[in-house]
């Protein structure tokens, strides 16, 4: 083998080794990013689960208005676990959410005149009378069983 061939072969092997090392470094970054993403997702799920636990407990202890609690629980459930959110035992949260979807919030609520506010408050009272027992049962189920499922341990 002459010197040129040996030089080209050595250069080629060094280039392959350098590219392999670079590829390995890139894969390590990908794996680290994936691990970080998984940890962030797990922390998010734990945070949402804790928030759902607090809301369901507050709803049962009547520290939170039924309508507001149901809306908040529904939104968090959608983000926590769509399968759990769509469970028939949580349907009451969806019903209350949809029944109040047209109610103005925040500044728009404050801008309503008193008669409009009273009309909405009357509807809230009717909805509460109609769905309070079901909402309490659903909140109790969430605390006792729903939030202890596969997502809660993930």
How many separate domains does the chain show?
1
Q: How many residues does the chain have?
A: 154
Look up the domain containing 87 and give its range: 3-153
pTM: 0.80
Q: What is the pLDDT of residues 32-85, one digit of tens each?
A: 999 999 999 999 999 999 999 999 999 999 999 999 999 999 999 999 999 999
Which of 117-143 are b and which e, b meaning 16 or more Cβ less than 10 Å from the residue's Cβ?
eeebeeebeebeeebeebbbebbbebb
């Amino acid at each position: 083998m002459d010197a040129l061939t040996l030089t080209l072969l050595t250069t080629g092997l060094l280039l392959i080794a350098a590219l392999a090392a670079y590829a390995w470094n890139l894969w390590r970054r990908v794996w680290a990013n994936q691990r970080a993403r998984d940890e962030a997702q797990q922390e998010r799920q734990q945070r949402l689960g804790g928030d759902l636990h607090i809301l369901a407990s507050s709803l049962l202890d009547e520290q939170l208005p039924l309508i507001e609690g149901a809306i908040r629980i529904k939104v968090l459930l959608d983000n926590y676990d769509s399968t759990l959110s769509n469970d028939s035992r949580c349907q009451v949260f969806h019903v209350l959410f949809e029944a109040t979807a047209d109610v103005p919030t925040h500044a728009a609520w404050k801008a309503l005149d008193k008669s409009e506010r009273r009309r909405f408050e009357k509807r809230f009272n009717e909805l509460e009378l109609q769905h309070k027992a079901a909402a309490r049962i659903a909140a109790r189920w969430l605390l006792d069983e729903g939030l202890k499922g596969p997502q809660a341990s993930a």
